[in-house]
Every structure is written in C-alpha cells, then in structure tokens.
Amino acid sequence: MLDLIRSLAIPNTTKIVLLSLDGLGGLPRPETGRSELETARLPNLHALAAEAACGLLRHVAPGVTPGSGPGHLGLFGYDPLVHQVGRGVLESLGIEFDLRAGDVAARGNFCTVDAAGRITDRRAGRIPTETCVRLVERLRAIRLPGVETLVEPVQEHRFVLVLRGAGLSGRLSETDPQALDTPPLPVRALEPAAERTAQLVNAFVDAARPLLADARPANMVLLRGFDRRPDLPRFPEVYGLRAAAIAAYPMYRGLAKLVGMDVLKTGRTYADEIATLREHWQAYDFFFVHYKDTDKAGEDGNFDAKVQALERFDALLPAVRELNPDVLVVSGDHATPSILAAHGWQPVPALLRSRYCGADPVTAFTERACAGGTLGTLPAHHLMPLVMANALRLTKFGA
Amino acid sequence: MLDLIRSLAIPNTTKIVLLSLDGLGGLPRPETGRSELETARLPNLHALAAEAACGLLRHVAPGVTPGSGPGHLGLFGYDPLVHQVGRGVLESLGIEFDLRAGDVAARGNFCTVDAAGRITDRRAGRIPTETCVRLVERLRAIRLPGVETLVEPVQEHRFVLVLRGAGLSGRLSETDPQALDTPPLPVRALEPAAERTAQLVNAFVDAARPLLADARPANMVLLRGFDRRPDLPRFPEVYGLRAAAIAAYPMYRGLAKLVGMDVLKTGRTYADEIATLREHWQAYDFFFVHYKDTDKAGEDGNFDAKVQALERFDALLPAVRELNPDVLVVSGDHATPSILAAHGWQPVPALLRSRYCGADPVTAFTERACAGGTLGTLPAHHLMPLVMANALRLTKFGA
C-alpha cells in the first residue's frame, strides 16, 4: 500500500493538518446514555463535522486495543501489523532517547527478589522515580565488551537499557517470566545472529545483581521488549510532504521522528502547539498536531475531565481553521473510554474536510453519528491515502 | 489473526454466551415486503438489540453462500477460507462419527447405473434410509490391505466412507462426475503422497460394484469430498476460554468438538439446551448454544414456520439474560430465506451486548435495521476478537 501511494504521489502546494486527539473515542456513561463526545459542548467540532466526510477508524483489527505506537503509526498510514515496533523502542521514544540505527533497546523494570533470587514483586513496589534515577546511576557503571551500554530512567520502576555497537540483534527472549516465585530467566537468542547480543545482555544482568543486592525492594532487574529501531519507510518520502510534528509529549515526538517527520519545538499546552503551528505554517505541507488531555482524563476514568478536555480542544479549533488548510483531519490514535479507564478497542471518530470530501449526512462529531458517515469504518492506515487524494497530491492509477 | 488474538488473550472471570440461530437471516416475503424477522413478534430480541451493538455478519465472502461448517467456523473466529473442512469430514461430524487424526473421510452417494455402468440417477431415487442402512451393511464386507474400512449410513442415499490407517492422504479427485450418462470416474491422487490412498479407494469402488449389482436403483456408489480431519487451532487455547457447546443436532456438536470445545449432553429441544446452559453456568467461560428450528423452517420454504421458530427463540431469551452474561451475542451461521428455501448468501444480523459495546442506533433485530448498526457488515471471523475485547479478555497491542 505504501509503495502504491509513493508511486502515485505528486507535488502540490496544498496544506494538510492532522489533529490527533489522544484516546479520542469514548463510551456512553450508563447514567445518561451519552458518551464524552455526546456530553461535551463542541460547537466548532460539530460544525466542522457537518462540512466534512465522517467515519470511524480502526487502527489494528476488530477487537484489538491499540497502544499509542500502533495507533499513531496507523494514522500516519503504516499498517501497525506490518510495521511492528518493540516495547523497548517505544519506551525509548517516550523519554526522547536518541535511538540510532542498530541500537537494541529493552524496557527494564526494577523488581524485588528474595534471598534465593526468586521474584516477589515484578515492579519493586513501584519505587519512586528518584530511587529509579539513583539506581540507574549504579547500572551505568556496567561495562560490556565491544558495545556501549546506555541506561536511562523512565518513571517509577521503569528504565530503558540500550546496547549500542555493531552486529547487535533484537531477536531475544525476555528475562521477565511474567510470574512470581521464579527467578528471572536468562535471555535466549531467537536467531543465530543474536547469540552475541544474548551473551551481552546476560552479562549485563549478572553485573546488575551484585550492584543492586542492597537496594531492596529494587534489588534486581527484568528486561523485555528487545528490539532495534525499525527501519520504517520515511513519511516525507512516501508522501512527498514536508512534514512537521507538534506534540507536547515526548512519546509522540518520538513516534513522529521515527517516521522521519521534523519535530518542532513547542510549549507544554495545546495553545502553545497551535501557536507553533501558526508560526511554521509556510514551511511545511503537513502538520501532525497531538492533543494529550483527552487520553489522560480517560485513563483516569474521569468522564467530566474528558468532557472538559474535549471542550478545550474545541475552543482552539477556530484558530486552526483560520489558517485555512486544504485538508483538515480530526481523529485519534485509539479510544480511551472513561468508563474503561484504559485504552479501548472501539473504532475512533474521524472527520476529513476538504473541498473535495463529498456530501456526508453526519452533522455531529460523535461515535454514534460518525458510524453513519461516508468514510465508513476504515482501517486507520487507509486514511492517509484519502488525505493525499483530497490534497490533490495523488495522480491516477493506470491510464 | 488467530495468532494475534492468542498472543493478546488474558484471563478474566467474565462469561460469554453465543446464541447461534441456524439460518437466521431471511428476505422479505413479496406479499408484505417484510422478512421473517420483521414479521415475527420478538419483544425480547428487539429490546436486546436496543441495548446492543448491531451489524451484519458475512461468513465467507460477498455473494458466497456458507454451508453450516464454514458458517460456524466463522462464528468461532476461524476464517473459513483459510480453515477448510472437507465434505467427507462434515458428513462424519453430522452423524457424530468419531473421526480420528489421520482418517480420510468421504461423502458417499448410492446411485443408479445402467447395464453399461453409466450413471442414470446420482441419488438412486433418494432411496429410504432403511435401504441405505441395509446396503451399507453389504459394503462393510469390503476389506482393503493395511487399512480399516468404515462405512456408516447417513440418510436416504447418503453414507460416509472412512479409511483408517497410517500414511493416508485426502488429496484425491472425486468419483462423482456430477453428470449423467457417464460412468463414475476412478479416483486420482492430487499429490504423490496420495497414490496409495487413491488405489485403496478405487479398490473399494471395484469391490462395491458386484456387491450392489442386484440392488437397483442403488446399484453403485459415488464418492466425493475426501479429506482428513483438519488440525484446527483449538478454541480453548486460542482464546483462553473454558468453552462448552450446547446443541441438540449432531452436526453442530461435531463442529464444536472439531475446535476443541466441550460438548455438553443436552435434550432434544431448545428449552433443554437452555436448561443445560443454566446447569453448567459455573463451569465454563464461553457457551455456544445452537438453535436449529429457524433453518429447518427456512429450508422447507415455510415462512410462517420460520416466524414461529423465531418467536419460540424470543420467548426463551429472558432465561438466558437472567444468567447475566458479561457478553451476549445473538447471530447465526448463514441466512436461510424462506423464499429461497435454501441457504442464502445474504449477511446475517448480529448483536453483541456488553457493558462496553458502545452506543448504537439500532432498536430492532432485523436485517434492515442491523445494516445501520455500529458493527457494520463484518466478516464473521472478526466477531470473536470483538467478543473477547468486550469480555475484557484481550490486552492491548503495542505500548
């Protein structure tokens, strides 16, 4: 699909804005029968929906709840089942670690082991981040032959381990047995070319054990999700777009960077992001703008906060419309229904407005209304080709 | 897809009920313009539809009419185009024959041949089942070198032939030329490993000819649909569900057994089946409950009988709802429109009710109403992942 689009892409001067509301989709609150989108006052979004083609996006597969990585890759036009990104890589992106080609990254947990070395708590009682920072400092003392060993704290018990050097492989089993009362597992190579990397990781774990012996409850490490930075087709090259990402949160900046977008410096709020958009309007063809508040409120199970987050987003929509993009898309990377207090599998409302988006009966930007839109329920990675077409940036297929 | 779901499945205590109305979907009767579902009084089903997410299931592909085998495999989450089950195997399941791994089964017909051995009736005038039983007794006298030969009567002119032994292959052509005035064909091996099996089957046919010579109109046999029992991924392992099947008809018990469900002993009626459901409620996570009457009436072309069958089903729906399943699904394996008097290719209404199924505008369980539901028209094998998600039994994909 990406190859097809790449072969059809043609230059134009049209401008595209993709507004991604993290965790956009919701579910009705049982008390009212109305979802977050159906509860919020969203005059600007509903007016835009009335002008747009609407539908629902499914990011991975029916019933499958997307993480933020696959969710955004889908929005960028990459089938997340084809382009898989390991947990270690996503964790590195989340702290804006400068992961390089060939690096192998793993997600690390500090954990608690008993005197016999058996795991008694896989998360070391969720130690404070300050403790994590201090213990990571100890792990940085570890030296392995022929590779650079990089350890970075994340949050609470979580850290990232990166091995940097030639000839490394991410095809490794995990040390986390995902069970208690059993010791961490040695890492095994899942392909012959990973033998040396497996030995290096096992040497790291062996070296970590004495360094942490007195640090109970965080007296051992678990490593999983080994992977190299995936070699994804570059977004600007596939689509022929000068592409910029505007995101206050590191994870989303990291994902955009992974596909080759320029990441613009911005502030902490969505208003800052919109200001950044305005500032760089002339320099790019495509803008990915990320809005985090909807997901945060949903993850907290806070229905009212999610409603308010939607209303804050709505209030800034006119500022985007003033720029008069040729194609304006509003959608999200996955649902985060407040009543689930977690990511959900439900397809996510999407709207696409352009001069050529066609007549559509939907006049409200809600899950229920978008289900009846002309976009239908479509795989998220089919959206970008539609965006490109609406930007008059795809030539026809066949004569 | 099954591998993906297997990798995401997590344990939970939620309970799932899948009610399958055989041949559920229908078509409007020309006199009234209303289908069977639109004609029947179905207060409980319509009320459930109003609370549920609705849609239409397509079991194989657009325009393709599913048999009961592919129809149910689709409901169980297996793509019927990937997991094909030979006719001989399905016929064996239909009589609850204990087909073992390695057995090769064929569907047999008694037929009529003239003095020159040319077929004059492919079904031997649909001889009574008693005659079939008597003639099968004769065929049981046939002995073949190195394999066990099992012959079982089915109904009218139909029987099952099973070869049991080492090294057999089901990759054989058929003896039935599907035409008159031509003799039955010898079986050919469709792969080198099937040569010996082809010889054995041809020897069986040669031995059958003299044994049946005086039994006109059933004086010869036709064999088709050779296949081994498919090695399907086991339903309880894929989904991590303790799964039970409740079905009064042997074919559906056989299909459930084929995917590794426990088949519960039950009575002859749907009320018996519901009693069985209640009785085993604690012991399982997933129940497949089969209702046959809708299909029978549809196959008979009896519109009113199908309407009544739907109403009988509706009357027992409250007994299921009293059990308070976390996920309740109502759908079917294929359409059997009364005006077709046969299986149909039309997509089949489906509803899924759970706490997290989302808002949906559909308030009636009919073909027409479900076409506007939030499930859309989806491949039947995408239903189980949705069921699993709604049962909170799938973890997210990617971080």
pLDDT tens track for B174-191: 999 989 999 999 999 999
pLDDT band at B317 (very low <50, low <70, confident <90, very high): very high
Residue of B nearest to A92 (CA): B399
Nearest CB to B389; choose among A63, A80, A376:
A63
Q: Is A152 on the interface with B (CB under 8 A)?
A: no
Cβ distance of A368 and B378 shorter than 8 Å: no
Residues of chain A with C-beta less than 8 angstroms from the C-beta of B5: 63-64
**How buried is A268 (Cβ within 10 angstroms: 0-12 exposed, 13-18 middle, 19+ buried)?**
exposed
Nearest to B346 by CA among B11, B66, B143: B66
Contact (Cβ atoms closer than 8 angstroms) between residue B270 and residue B247: no
pLDDT band at B93 (very low <50, low <70, confident <90, very high): confident
Cβ distance of A81 and B398 shorter than 8 Å: no
Residue of B nearest to A251 (CA): B399
Dihedral of CA B159/B160/B163/B168: which sign? positive
CA A193 to chain B, closest CA, distance in angstroms equals 25
What local confidence, expressed as pLDDT, does residue A186 receive? 96
**How buried is B190 (Cβ within 10 angstroms: 0-12 exposed, 13-18 middle, 19+ buried)?**
middle
Residues of chain A with C-beta less than 8 angstroms from the C-beta of B397: 60, 64-67, 70, 80
pLDDT in tens, B144-154: 999 999 999 99
What local confidence, expressed as pLDDT, does residue A375 receive? 96
What local confidence, expressed as pLDDT, does residue A23 receive? 97
Q: Is B310 on the interface with A (CB under 8 A)?
A: no
CA distance B175 to B179: 11
Comparing B215 with B1, which gets the higher pLDDT? Answer: B215
CA distance B349 to B333: 10
Cβ distance of B378 and A33 shorter than 8 Å: no
Q: Is B246 on the interface with A (CB under 8 A)?
A: no
> What mean pLDDT, rounded, does chain B reach?
96
ipTM, two decimals: 0.87
Cβ distance of A66 and B388 shorter than 8 Å: no
> At A136, is the secondary structure helix, strand, or coil?
helix
Q: Is A61 on the interface with B (CB under 8 A)?
A: yes
Nearest CB to B397; choose among A35, A60, A91:
A60
pLDDT in tens, A110-139: 999 999 999 999 999 999 999 999 999 999
Write b or e for each residue in A183-204: b if 16 or more Cβ atoms lie within 10 A of its Cβ, otherwise e: ebbebebeeeebebbbebbbeb
Question: Measured between alpha carbons, how far is residue A97 from residues A93, A152, B73, B135, B150 in Å?
Answer: 6, 8, 46, 77, 67
Q: Which of residues 334-363 of B touch A (CB under 8 A)?
A: 355-356, 358-361
CA angle B187/B189/B193 to nearest 5° reads: 145
Q: Which tokens in the block code for residue A6?
A: 């790449």
> What mean pLDDT, rounded, does chain A reach?
96
Nearest CB to B385; choose among A62, A107, A344:
A62
Cβ distance of B396 and A65 shorter than 8 Å: yes
Question: Measured between alpha carbons, how far is residue A186 from residues A28, A117, A174, A202, A209 in Å?
Answer: 46, 13, 8, 6, 13
- Which regions of chain A are under pLDDT 70? none
CA A69 to chain B, closest CA, distance in angstroms equals 6
Which residue type occupies B67? G
Residues present in chain B in total: 399
Say what the pTM is: 0.90
Integer distance in angstroms from the first to the last C-alpha of chain B? 19
Total CB pairs under 8 A between chain A and B: 101
CA distance A330 to A54: 10
Most distant CA pair in chain B, distance: 73
Q: Is B10 on the interface with A (CB under 8 A)?
A: no
CA B241 to chain A, closest CA, distance in angstroms equals 16
pLDDT in tens, B212-249: 999 999 999 999 999 999 989 999 999 999 999 999 98
Average pLDDT over residues B72-87: 95
What local confidence, expressed as pLDDT, does residue B359 receive? 85
CA distance A215 to A124: 10
Q: Which tokens in the block code for residue B113?
A: 């041949």
Contact (Cβ atoms closer than 8 angstroms) between residue A349 and residue A366: yes
Name B85's Cβ contacts closer than 8 Å, sequence gap at least 6.
B69, B70, B73, B227, B230, B258
Which residue type occupies B372? G
CA B386 to chain A, closest CA, distance in angstroms equals 4
Cβ distance of B360 and A344 shorter than 8 Å: no
Residues of chain A with C-beta less than 8 angstroms from the C-beta of B373: 371
Nearest to A225 by CA among A63, A359, A93, A379: A93
CA distance A134 to A130: 6
CA distance B392 to B399: 17
Q: Is B4 on the interface with A (CB under 8 A)?
A: yes
Q: Is A331 on the interface with B (CB under 8 A)?
A: no
Helices B303-315 and B43-51, interaxial angle, to 10°? Answer: 60
**Residue B51 phi/psi, 5° resolution?**
-90, -10
CA distance B153 to B131: 10
Residue A221 pairs in a beta bridge with A110
Q: Is A226 on the interface with B (CB under 8 A)?
A: no
Helices A195-212 and A129-139, interaxial angle, to 10°? Answer: 120
Cβ distance of A61 and B389 shorter than 8 Å: no
Residue B168 has pLDDT above 80, yes or no: yes
Average pLDDT over residues B368-379: 93
Spell out the long-range contacts of A276-283 with Cβ–Cβ below 8 A and sequence spacing 24 or more.
Answer: A276/A246, A277/A17, A277/A246, A277/A320, A277/A323, A278/A319, A278/A323, A280/A244, A281/A15, A281/A323, A283/A242, A283/A244
Contact (Cβ atoms closer than 8 angstroms) between residue A203 and residue A187: no
CA A68 to chain B, closest CA, distance in angstroms equals 6
